[in-house]
Structure 1
Amino acid sequence: MDENVPIHEEVTTFIENVHWKKKNLVLGMTYESPKQLKQMLSNYVVAKGYQLCYKKNDSRRLLVKCCSGQCKFRLWASWMSEEISFQIKSLIDEHNCARSFKMGSIVNYAWIGSHFTTQFLQTQTMSVRILKEEMKQKFGIDVSMGQCRRAKKYAMELIEGTLVEHYAKLWSYGEEIRRSNPGSTVKMDVNNMPDGKTYFSKFYICFEGLKQGWKGSCRRVINLDGCFLKGLCSGELICVVGRDANNHIFLIAWAVVCVENKENWK
């Protein structure tokens, strides 16, 4: 993942890559892996309303037919060693069955979770019952409560895993600030646990330009304030601000801490 891209943009990009509107199957289309083709098939069944079944399903071949047994629909795809891709070799895209509101194993919890990651990122209290209703209203399909529970767990693990990777890049972020903004102050504190794991504690930033700007053109007044961080990662954002010649707020420094207390302000 790109260090310069915020987490919410990366999650949104991931969701857009498997968006259900990308639903058309094309003969000869190639994919990076069988997993990518299965995502496409999930989009297809949700958009079209047909219940498909995997007749052959492994790392080198995929045979898909309509579960009703009355349709001519048939998709055959296999691995192409020379091109290093997974290709649709034959396709009969014809149906004469009615729309189904139960998609079976093709629309699984991972597909559901990937489409609702943004909602879970913004509202962690979203219940599985609400998720079930959202699936019915947004996509017109019925899913079980068990699928919704697994989907929520999958989405939360996806978000938490992304957060862990981003927190691990804070050291590099601090070094880049020091390199590109000489004179800037960047400090990070961590908690070392007995099991050997390291957890984020606090992070402080003060750019050299802001230091000099406050010293050279601002009133000799400093204000302190903080606000709670909402989301999976709790804590507080505390800021030191001044007032410039136009009586506007001038940011001097800020820090992300676990709690607002005298020690963290120091």
Structure 2
Amino acid sequence: MKTPPNSKDELEEVDSDEVFPMFRDGGRFGQLRLAVGMTFATKMEFKEAVREYCIQEGRRIWFKKNDNVRMRAVCKDENCGWLVYAANNTENNYWQIKTFMDDHSCARKTKNRLANRKWLAGKLVKKLRKYPNLRHCEAAQYFKTKCDLELSKCSLTRALGNARAVVHGDAAAQYGMIYICLDACKKGFLAGYRPLIGLDGAFLKTQHSGQILSAIGQDANNHIYVIAYAIVPVENTENWRWFLELLHQDLGDYKQNKLYFISDMQKIVNCCDLIDRLLLHELLIYAELLIKEVRAKPIVTLLEEVRMYAMRSIARNKVKLSSNTGILPPIQRSRLEKIRKESKSWVPMWSGDSEYEKFEVHG
């Protein structure tokens, strides 16, 4: 370690024939090292490097001298001799550490104001890209385990919000980017899916709240099929009327196409007693689960993830049925086979009509 300069020669340059390391951002937390002579592209880069280093070492410091020519950071404990001093090399336009006394006499701290909202959000952005559904408690545990930091609930909540805004985009701006692209879903439903539609609404957890309305159907093999969905400010009669009128325009007259509907309140509309109640219940559960994991994200991100989820689901089901042979799809064939086996013990008894067409079955 170089001998620290006195107050008279703080701004003197180190020998020009020596080669000094250049600070490179993006290193792993816990492995950052500072050294005399290390250079930085800007003053802010130097300041953030000192912040990162002191957080990883569990030290609380403050910048005592801060201008366009020099910066000095010292420990908040007056009895501690820790010090880092850097100056601006105006000729080559970079900052360089002139003095670094890395000898702390104070104890390590688990609460550190250097870990502000901006710093926390920067760390959380990387975590959210890998784990999009990262929860508050998981984030707190991450900083406790990885950085040995105890954070207030308020600061961590705000940092999570900032990080999600970076990862998922600005929530308010995304409302101006919405477009409609569901023709394929509606045409696919009309091409041969079961004429049963489940309707449901779910609350969104975004900054602007709102609800998502969805129409869900099933194919011949009982696979769930997403027909349409829309975002509205509130779930009320007016918005449901708007949603269903658009759905009616795309799918055609429900009476002519013999379409049946059921709402989340189990109120059957244009329905008959032959519809499987359990099947309807599964439809409504799926409609809610469709957006459960993404409803806290900004609007465009939410809609895109729902769209991609529906697309992947339809594609997988298409592959499953591509090798099917016969008139019936696999699930319906298995149900028929089960009934056929049970029917072995059934006995038909002629009811006495002259045409021998009416029988009564016992068993």
- Once residues 154 and 91 of structure 2 are traced to their aligned partners in structure 1, the CA distance between those partners, rounded to angstroms, is 38
Map 1:1-266 → 2, pairs under 5 A: 20-21=29-30, 23-26=32-35, 27-34=37-44, 36-68=45-77, 73-79=82-88, 87-92=95-100, 94-101=102-109, 106-108=114-116, 110-111=118-119, 139-140=147-148, 148=152, 151=155, 155=159, 158=162, 165-174=170-179, 186=180, 206-265=181-240, 266=242
Offset of residue 248 of structure 1: 1.0
Offset of residue 250 of structure 1: 0.8
- Once residues 199 and 27 of structure 2 are traced to their aligned partners in structure 1, the CA distance between those partners, rounded to angstroms, is 44
- Once residues 141 and 53 of structure 1 are traced to their aligned partners in structure 2, the CA distance between those partners, rounded to angstroms, is 18
1:176-208 deviation digits (Å, cap 9, x = unpaired): xxxxxxxxxx3xxxxxxxxxxxxxxxxxxx512
Offset of residue 253 of structure 1: 1.0
Corresponding residue of 1:199: none
Ranked by relative contact order (alpha carbons within 8 Å, sequence separation 6 or more), the top structure is 1
Offset of residue 97 of structure 1: 1.9
CA contact (8 A) 2:216 2:228 kept: yes
Cα distance, 1:251–1:224 mapped onto 2, change above 3 Å: same
Unaligned runs of 5+ in 2: 1-25, 243-363
Higher strand share: 1
Offset of residue 44 of structure 1: 1.3
1:211-240 deviation digits (Å, cap 9, x = unpaired): 221121312222211222235442222211
Q: Secondary structure at the match of 1:263?
A: helix
1:59-99 deviation digits (Å, cap 9, x = unpaired): 55322234556766543334566776x53343525315243
- Once residues 173 and 231 of structure 1 are traced to their aligned partners in structure 2, the CA distance between those partners, rounded to angstroms, is 15
- Once residues 197 and 154 of structure 2 are traced to their aligned partners in structure 1, the CA distance between those partners, rounded to angstroms, is 49
Cα distance, 1:76–1:138 mapped onto 2, change above 3 Å: same
Using the size of structure 1 for normalisation, the TM-score is 0.57
Q: Could you tell me the percent identity over the aligned residues?
A: 24
- Once residues 200 and 53 of structure 2 are traced to their aligned partners in structure 1, the CA distance between those partners, rounded to angstroms, is 51
Offset of residue 254 of structure 1: 0.7
- Once residues 242 and 141 of structure 1 are traced to their aligned partners in structure 2, the CA distance between those partners, rounded to angstroms, is 49
What is the aligned length?
209
Which structure has the larger Rg over C-alpha atoms?
A: 2
Question: Aligned letter for 1:49?
Answer: G
Using the size of structure 2 for normalisation, the TM-score is 0.44
- Once residues 182 and 47 of structure 2 are traced to their aligned partners in structure 1, the CA distance between those partners, rounded to angstroms, is 48
Question: Aligned letter for 1:48?
Answer: E
Question: Aligned letter for 1:170?
Answer: Y
- Once residues 103 and 92 of structure 2 are traced to their aligned partners in structure 1, the CA distance between those partners, rounded to angstroms, is 31
**RMSD of aligned alpha carbons:** 4.4
